Amino acid sequence: MEKKIIYEISSLYRDNFRVTGFEFGEGEKSVCIVGNLRGNEVQQIYTCSQLVQKFKVLEKEGKIRKGHKVLIIPSMNPYSMNSKERFWPTDKTDINRMFPGYDLGETTQRIAAGIFEVIKDYKYGMQFASFYMPGKFMPHVRMMQTGFENVEMAKEFGMPYVVLRKIRPYDTTTLNYNWQIWETNAFSIYTTSTTEIDKESAKEAIRGILRFLAKQQIIEYTTHEGYKSSVVTDSEMISVRTKSAGIFDSKVKAGEEIAKGQILAQIIDPLEGEVKENLISPVDGIVFFGHNDPLTYANTAVFKIISGGI
């Protein structure tokens, strides 16, 4: 293993901003795996750090196949994490809205450009990603429908779901999108949580990645086959929305099987304690995403459901 500084800039009063990578194996640029891009992505940095542990063992045991280089970057944004800011501490811009970056541009454009220059030529790219709404997901692999996405390949992670996302204008500046445009097979890996550590789903994601890399003949690794992934588009998911705002009392969790007519959550009046609204499942299915903030706004998609059973 070689520990490398991928990108570095100085600051007026802080220690240098450093993006550190861990390189395993030698040869063609096979796999690049990245952790947090935002300051609140604690689960993402944790999962990536555990993957570094796994690769240290794999390398020691000679299980990384010859001719393959694997680069793991657990944190692309230590500054934001250290100051508990979600975005760049000074100008509040989002590095994941700056790709492919611009080396003569503003700070986060430069950071994106500097990092992308190093990671753009890898054959496979994986990012531990997070969602902008507070909530928990079923672990899954997500891809944008750029026209370059390889759905069959995504199934090889053996995670329960592969989710396809229709591109919106603001997606075109994300890492995942640009990786695909630069012909990297790019996958966003979602574990259950973001701001808190969920060890179980971190393990599941790591197993998924190792399973995938074994199938691509990059590492030697034996594990169970995993799930036969179901492919869903984000538009196929059924959203359950709040009509009113208030205290959100969830009765179910992400991953739980639910029946049509079941109460998924209640909205409680925050002053008088009465139940203002029962949120009812319109179908039999599985909770794919569940809001986990104790308050909710109105019109909020607090659950996303995949209809049918596992």
Partner 1 sequence: MVKTVASVGLPVDEVLEIKKNRILPEGESDGKKKRISIVTGIHGDELEGQYVCFELIRRIEEHKELLKGIVDVYPAMNPLGIDSITRGIPAFDLDMNRLFPGNKDGDMTEFLASGMIADVDGSDVCIDIHASNIFLTEIPQIRINELHKEKLIPLAKELNVDFIWVHGANTVLESTFAHSLNSRNVPTLVVEMGVGMRITKEYCNQLVDGILHLMETMEIWAGETIEPRKPIISEDADDVTYLNAPTAGVFVPRVKHWEHLKKSDEIGWIIDPLHGKILEKILSPVDGILFTIREYPIVDHGSLIGRLLREEARKE
Where helices occur in the chain by DSSP H, the ranges are 42-60, 78-82, 107-119, 151-154, 175-181, 199-215
75 sits in which H/E element: strand 67-75
Nearer to partner 1 among residue 50 and residue 172 (C-beta): 172
Where do runs of H (alpha helix) occur along 120-174?
151-154
3-state secondary structure labels for all residues of 273-286: CCEEEEEECCCCEE
- 151, 275, 298, 310: which one binds partner 1 (CB under 8 A): 298
Terminal CA-CA length for the chain = 40
Indicate whether 169 belongs to the interface with partner 1 (CB under 8 A).
yes
Give the bridge partners for 250, in sequence order: 265
Q: How far is the CB of 61 from partner 1 (least distance, A)?
A: 41
- Write down the least CB distance from residue 109 to partner 1, Å: 7
Nearer to partner 1, 16 or 223 (CB): 16
Q: Is 196 in the site for partner 1 (CB under 8 A)?
A: no
The single-letter code of the amino acid at 93 is: T
The span of 7-15, 42-50, 54-62, 282-290 binding partner 1 (CB under 8 A) equals 7-15
301 binds partner 1, rule: CB under 8 A? yes
Residue count, binding to partner 1 (CB under 8 A): 38
Query: Of 15, 3, 8, whose CA–CA distance to 76 is shortest?
Result: 8
Scanning residues 53 to 92, which ones bind partner 1 (CB under 8 A)?
A: 86-87, 90-92
The verdict on 161 binding partner 1 (CB under 8 A) reads: no
The gap from C-alpha 64 to its chain's centroid, in whole angstroms, comes to 24
Which position among 63, 110, 123, 215 is part of the footprint of partner 1 (CB under 8 A)? 110
CA 207, CA 54: separation in Å to the nearest integer? 10
**Between 4 and 243, CB nearer to partner 1:** 243
By CB under 8 A, is residue 270 in contact with partner 1?
A: yes
